[in-house]
A and B are shown apart, each in its own frame.
Chain A
Amino acid sequence: MRFKIIAMSIILFLICSCAIQAEGRHFIDFDGDGFSDNIIDFDNNSIPDEFQSKVKELKSHTRTFTFSPTALFSDKSKDVKLTVSQKFSLHQFKARQLAKCRSNFDSDFNSGLSAGASSGGGCVGGVCF
């Protein structure tokens, strides 16, 4: 009986959970941060626009690092002519589930904070940067 109650609670929690959809687009989370990858981030600062009181108006959109593929979902970026690097960024966005595969356990099994030859970069608790 107790097991049934727990199971039903979990199912109800999942069904009734507040679905944060990115302007009607489906929820997809390839990078496992708990947020939809399709949330619009116009200035590409990794903070979704809806969580910022003011999004920086950029004088130039030619840089790849400040080009957000999700911004193409917004009205602001309609009819934008993309540069070569931005087109690549768009390809990268589409293939992000492949680039972020955890096949070699570098993130989950890494020995940690290290700048040695065995790991190459800094990883803290499974978060590599």
Chain B
Amino acid sequence: MKKIIFLISILLFVTGSLFGQTFYNAEVTVRASSTDNLFKNSSDSSDNFASTKASLNLYPLHFSEINIFTEYTKYNKNNNLSNLNYGGGLTLMPLSDSSLFSIYMNMNYKGYRYKEDTLTTSTTSSTEFSDKNINGVVALGYQLNETTSLRTGFNYSLVGYASDSDFVSDKSLNEIFTGLNLSLFGSNAIDFEAGYSFEKYDYLPEYDSVFNRTYGIDRINAYNRLEESDLNSYYVSLRYSRPLGKKTGFSLSYSYRNFTESKDSALILGSSSGYLSPWVNSYDGNTTLAKFKTYLVPYTIISFGVGYWNSSYLKTLESVSILNPLYDPYYDDPSAEFTTTVHTRNAQGRNDDKYRIFMTVSVPIVTSSGRLFEPSLNIDYTDNESTIANYTYSDFSIILSINIR
């Protein structure tokens, strides 16, 4: 199946080249990555992974675009994470160029199919399963004058839980947002955005007498005790940007997000599955980010910056395996030696302070036939201090990629 998709992609890419691409375009990206902390925790699991992505854009009408893509990612050490990613999207912008209004409608679907593997007890727990992501945006903009624009919109996203378990729910979010972009005193740009999101999540109420067991409650009972609650939040974001000299640009942005209501004693089962969980980014807090972009080196785009994140996570605790005190090695099945239990009483709050510095260097090369080759190098260093020792870590990552379109 993978080979067929790749063959079709290559065929379309070649055909597109021959027919001048007036109604469709093809794009290929090859990427090699290396990280010394794949799971972003104290395990310091290093890994290398590589991916190839082919995508095709079709333009049936001048205000519409259909996109289909496929991408295969191969992990070196964590082979069970290797996956085929595929999907498509539709974008509509049905307003004339002369209108002061602009409208943007987009719907995307992404599917993931992970490699079969016999590994069943790792933190990733990815044996054989598929996953799906759906995202939709409807946004409306209005140009007040030459330098001021307003925007508002609605965003929906559904991120599937990457597991073969049906117990943990997918993450679904509805969001409304509005924003303003204006330029002041020549070349000083201000961008402000605010939004409110509506979300549901499953949580486990704090320990009660019904499950008053020395070693907590077992995983299945814990799943059955899950209750649904709102996880609404609001955010504000402010960005200032301007040129610094002729060939360098600068931006400073600040974002703040706050859960308006969350269960203080709650924990979300499955959230600490880490790498593949949609709940990993469920936190509130603030971030400050300074970025620079420069064209000082001929034919080269260099971007670099530094950021600070302060994040407060929902209380989370995944199941833990402990020695079963009733285990009898002569009569019991070996799998019963350890019991998997869930503790709710000692769920800890997690608060992180994260610093990152990063740099991207790309050299876009345009051929005389209009084809673009863009090799890029990305370097990123992260230092994270957490109130939970497991999440205190550092990470150094490098990505090398080439994009052909």
Q: Which residues of chain A have a CB within 8 Å of any CB of chain B?
A: 14-15, 17-21, 26-30, 32-36, 43-48, 51-53, 56-66, 83-85, 87-88, 90-92, 94-95, 97-99, 101-105, 108-120, 122, 124-127, 129
Asked if B293 and A33 make an inter-chain contact with CB atoms under 8 angstroms apart, the answer reads yes
Asked if B59 and A88 make an inter-chain contact with CB atoms under 8 angstroms apart, the answer reads yes
Asked if B133 and A117 make an inter-chain contact with CB atoms under 8 angstroms apart, the answer reads yes
Pick from A29, A53, A111, A119 the residue with the most CB of B within 10 Å.
A29
Q: Which of the candidate stretches B24-32, B115-123, B321-329, B342-350 sits at the interface with the other chain?
A: B24-32
Select A32's contact among B191, B244, B309, B357, beta carbons within 8 Å. B191
Q: Which of the candidate stretches B220-228, B261-269, B277-285 sits at the interface with the other chain?
A: B277-285
Asked if B21 and A63 make an inter-chain contact with CB atoms under 8 angstroms apart, the answer reads yes
Asked if A103 and B153 make an inter-chain contact with CB atoms under 8 angstroms apart, the answer reads yes
Q: Which of the candidate stretches B3-11, B62-70, B330-338 sits at the interface with the other chain?
A: B62-70
A101-B151, A125-B307 given; A64·B237 CB < 8 A: no
Asked if B295 and A47 make an inter-chain contact with CB atoms under 8 angstroms apart, the answer reads yes
Residues on A with C-beta less than 8 A from B23 are 83-85
Asked if B185 and A17 make an inter-chain contact with CB atoms under 8 angstroms apart, the answer reads yes
Asked if A125 and B356 make an inter-chain contact with CB atoms under 8 angstroms apart, the answer reads yes
A66-B366, A103-B177, A125-B356 given; A117·B159 CB < 8 A: yes
Asked if B372 and A126 make an inter-chain contact with CB atoms under 8 angstroms apart, the answer reads no
A84 to nearest B CB, angstroms? Answer: 5
* Proximity bits, B190-206, A CB within 8 Å = 1, else 0: 01010100000000000
Select A58's contact among B112, B257, B301, B366, beta carbons within 8 Å. B366
Residues on A with C-beta less than 8 A from B155 are 103-104
Select A113's contact among B21, B159, B248, B399, beta carbons within 8 Å. B399
**Shortest Cβ distance from A126 into B: residue:** B289
Asked if A105 and B257 make an inter-chain contact with CB atoms under 8 angstroms apart, the answer reads yes
Asked if A26 and B255 make an inter-chain contact with CB atoms under 8 angstroms apart, the answer reads no
A-B contact pairs, 29 of them (CB 8 A): A21-B187, A27-B187, A28-B146, A29-B181, A32-B253, A33-B241, A34-B241, A34-B292, A45-B372, A47-B364, A58-B370, A60-B20, A87-B63, A97-B179, A98-B139, A99-B106, A101-B179, A104-B175, A108-B253, A109-B287, A116-B162, A117-B278, A118-B159, A118-B281, A122-B31, A125-B306, A127-B303, A127-B305, A129-B376
A98-B140, A103-B155 given; A109·B185 CB < 8 A: no
Which 10 interchain pairs have the tightest Cβ spacing?
Answer: A34-B249, A19-B186, A125-B358, A29-B189, A87-B62, A98-B139, A98-B104, A45-B364, A103-B177, A66-B370
B185 to nearest A CB, angstroms? Answer: 4
Select A91's contact among B81, B97, B253, beta carbons within 8 Å. B97
Asked if B25 and A63 make an inter-chain contact with CB atoms under 8 angstroms apart, the answer reads yes
**Shortest Cβ distance from B124 into A: residue:** A116
Asked if A34 and B149 make an inter-chain contact with CB atoms under 8 angstroms apart, the answer reads no
Residues on A with C-beta less than 8 A from B173 are 104
Complex Cα gap A30–B146 (Å): 13
A33-B249, A126-B291 given; A84·B59 CB < 8 A: yes
Chain B, interface SS category: strand
Select B358's contact among A33, A105, A124, beta carbons within 8 Å. A124
Residues on A with C-beta less than 8 A from B63 are 87-88, 91
Asked if B22 and A58 make an inter-chain contact with CB atoms under 8 angstroms apart, the answer reads no
Select B22's contact among A26, A29, A62, beta carbons within 8 Å. A62
Residues on A with C-beta less than 8 A from B159 are 117-118
Complex Cα gap A18–B185 (Å): 10
A28-B189, A125-B380 given; A114·B289 CB < 8 A: no
For residue B35, CB closer than 8 A to chain A, the reply is yes
Residues on A with C-beta less than 8 A from B183 are 26-29
Complex Cα gap A101–B241 (Å): 15
Complex Cα gap A43–B405 (Å): 13
**Shortest Cβ distance from A52 into B: residue:** B299
* Proximity bits, B137-177, A CB within 8 Å = 1, else 0: 10111000011010101010101101000000000010101
Residues on B with C-beta less than 8 A from A61 are 370
Asked if B358 and A94 make an inter-chain contact with CB atoms under 8 angstroms apart, the answer reads no
A29-B241, A98-B140, A112-B395 given; A103·B380 CB < 8 A: no
